[in-house]
Structure formats: C-alpha cells, structure tokens
Amino acid sequence: MNKVKITIVGAGYVGMSLAVLLAKHHEIKVLDIDKEKVQMINAKKSPLADKDIKEAFKKEDLNLFATADSLDAFVEADYIIIATPTHFEEDTNSFDSTSVETVIDIAMKENKKALIVIKSTVGIGFTESQASKHKTERIIFSPEFLREGKALHDNLNPSRLVIGGSENKLTISFSDIMKEAAINKEFDTLFMSYREAESVKLFSNTYLAMRVAFFNELDSFSMQNDMDSLNIIHGVSSDSRIGNYYNNPSFGYGGYCLPKDTKQLLADFKDTPQSLIKSIIESNEIRKQFISKKIQDIKANTIGIYRLIMKDGSDNFRASSVLSIIDSLKENGLEIVIYEPIINSSSYQEIPVIKELNSFIRTADIIIANRVTDELSEVKHKTFTRDIFNSDL
C-alpha cells in the first residue's frame, strides 16, 4: 500500500497506540496542546507509561512527529483521526464532546479531502449531527476497544474494526490501512450506520462493566457468607457459555472508559424502558461502599493505600474505584497514607503520599490494594485485596 499522511489528534492511549501502530507504514503527525508531550514525542520518547509503546519508541524506526500547530497538522493530511478525551458531565447528563467538535470544525476548514475518523467516545447521534452540520460523508466514527496498559497490543491484535459511515472508497481505504498495520489480520470490518457504531462502543463497555459488577457481587456474597470466592468463580466460569476470563473481583470498575460510558448509555436510554443499565451503575457504587465498610471493620490505626492507578502498567487513576473508598474512609476520620510513585507532590487531597515503598509498608498497619503486585509479596499478612487471581504473589 502506498504511504499516506495521517494526522492523529490527541496524545493519550488511543492516539499514541494508533500513532505507533501506523508510523511503521505511513507518515504520522500527532497534534496535541500539551507541549511537553510534543517535545517528548519528537525526542523519540513515549509520553505514556504503556510498556509496548515505550519499547516501540526505543526499537522501531517510526515515521512519527508531533506538533501543537493545527494548520501544520491538517493541511496535507489524507486522514485525520480524532482521539481527544471526552468526559461525562453530570450537570448535562451527557458527554462533553467540545474538543471533538472543535477539531472537526478546524479540520473541515483547513482540509477539503481528508477522511475524518472519530475515535473519541461520543454519545449516540453525535457523528450524524456533525456530518449533517458540515454536509459531508467525510466524517465517520470508528470506536476503539483497548485495555489500559495494553493499548498498542490490542491495536496490533484487534477483535474487529467497526466503521460508522458509508462503505465507499475512502472508508474501505481506511479499513485497508488498519488491516495492513495489524499483526493479526483475521478480523472482520463491520460497516454500519453512525448511530449503530456509537451504540456498539457504549454497549460493549457497559457489558464489560456488567461483568465486573457481577463477579464483584459474587465476591461480596462470598465474603458475607464466609465462602471462598475463588472456588465459586472457578465453578461458574468453567461453563464455556460464561468463560474463565474477566472474572477477577476488584473494588469496583473505574478508569477512562467504563464509568463514563455506562452513564452515557443510561442517558441515551431516556425514552426506552430499562432497569439493567441503571443497576450496573448502582451495583458499582454499592460494591465500593461494601469494601469501604469491610476495611473500616478491620480497626487499623493507619490505613495504607497501595497505588491509586487502576492496575499495574497504567499511569491513570481517573475515576479509580479506590478514590471513592478513600473519600469514605476520610469521612469516617480514619488516618490514611498513600503510596503512589506517579504523584509528584507530598500529599494528595491532604493525605500524605509516601514515595518510598519500604517506608510506606512500615507506616501502614494494613495495606489496601485494588490490584496486587510482587512488591507486596512479603506483606501478604497485612494486605487487604479482592484481587483473587494475583493474591498468591
């Protein structure tokens, strides 16, 4: 395939995994307002903690540059991929897609030929409204299905490629570009309407949230009734219809996607009868309250929080379940310390942050860990976790 010029807007996990994926075959420009990220990319350093992306920067010959200048990024691009973050706003009960809309406005003004691919998660109907606003078929929606810390791996090994938009020369060409870059090329490209593609994204993440909530409620029941969660999970998951995966209990789902996507889907159900979608969100809140109560029942003098991030290999703790637990513990006047190396300051929300692991372990009477690593292998006796499948480290 001939080399093309692709601009990717946003240097987060989605944007950077796509940039590294495609830069082996095409000329890539990453546009981001964060000048520090721009400098790091141009210095051939990953701006993210993702292990695979870091390795690619070190070992691969990537045709990849970054800029903060939208004119420089857009004018000559054959494809413009938008991967800016969208947040769910409780006040409006919807995503704030302002960043996506702004990029589309500028891109349509500066470039009259490029296919504009929305990778940011948006509400159902957003892409259709943008295509109608600009009177064009050059805007499509193509969702990502990535795990934190595994974004590049998942782009190299996609489960499917979903395209919301017309099946035409431009969109088929985009599909070919994505297939060429993948290691596993045995995946389907599914063309559908804008609204259907947006629905695929929200329903996929809501199903994953439901699965997390289900196994967390199983674990809560086991704890409350003095049973071994692992035995029950193995018994349940041995049924091939259920499967032995995505079944490790936690303090609750969190991170970039699941909390906001479940809320957005619930909002989009406004004219449709439902109870399940609402229950998933409520279940997650109940689980966090249940875990907080169990921690308080231990009656420790100093509670140590081991990492705010959702899991090892991530540098994100946005909407992390442990944050809600911290809030609950604070409300009850408990003494807390935090171990989180990615925090530069000496405190977080007025809670001391201890940067040296051994000092943290000595200070904490009990260690609370949503996900455990081998760093805690010597202090299992005072570690509280529901991370069943890693608890033997």
Angle at 64 between CA 58 and CA 66, to 5 degrees: 110
Residue-wise pLDDT tens digits, 16-59: 999 999 999 999 999 999 999 999 999 999 998 888 999 999 99
Residue-wise pLDDT tens digits, 318-361: 778 999 999 999 999 999 999 999 888 899 999 999 999 999 99
Residue-wise pLDDT tens digits, 265-278: 999 999 999 999 99
- pLDDT value of residue 287: 98
Q: Which residue has the tokens 């297939």?
A: 179
Tokens linked to 213: 């909530």
Tokens linked to 389: 């499948």
Measured CA to CA, the distance from residue 316 to residue 24 in angstroms comes to 27
Residue-wise pLDDT tens digits, 85-132: 999 999 999 999 999 999 999 999 999 999 999 999 999 999 999 999
> What superfamily would CATH give domain 202-390?
NAD(P)-binding Rossmann-like Domain (3.40.50.720)
Measured CA to CA, the distance from residue 203 to residue 212 in angstroms comes to 14
Residues in the chain: 393
Residue 392 has pLDDT above 60, yes or no: no
- In sequence order, what are the beta bridge partners of 81? 8, 117
Measured CA to CA, the distance from residue 347 to residue 354 in angstroms comes to 8
- pLDDT value of residue 10: 97
- Active-site annotation holder among 178, 257, 322, 336: 257
248 near 191, Cβ under 8 Å?
no
Q: What is the mean pLDDT of residues 289-303?
A: 96
Q: Which residue has the tokens 């405190």?
A: 347
Q: Give the contacts of 195 (CB within 8 A, at least 6 positions apart).
A: 124, 125, 127, 128, 164
Q: Which residue has the tokens 């259907």?
A: 196
Measured CA to CA, the distance from residue 322 to residue 291 in angstroms comes to 10
Per-domain residue ranges of the chain: 5-192, 202-390
Which CATH number among 3.40.50.720, 3.40.640.10, 3.40.50.9100, 3.40.50.300 corresponds to the domain 5-192? 3.40.50.720
Instruction: Reply yes or no on whether 257 is catalytic.
Output: yes
- In sequence order, what are the beta bridge partners of 161? 189
Does 202-390 match 5-192 at the fold level?
yes
Within a 10 A sphere around the Cβ of 155, how many other Cβ atoms?
Answer: 22
Tokens linked to 164: 């919301």
Q: Where do runs of H (alpha helix) occur along 79-144?
A: 98-110, 126-134
Its pTM stands at: 0.93
Host H or E run for residue 207: helix 194-224
What percent of the chain is helix, strand and coil (3-state, nearest 5)? 45, 15, 40
Host H or E run for residue 367: strand 366-368
6 near 77, Cβ under 8 Å?
yes
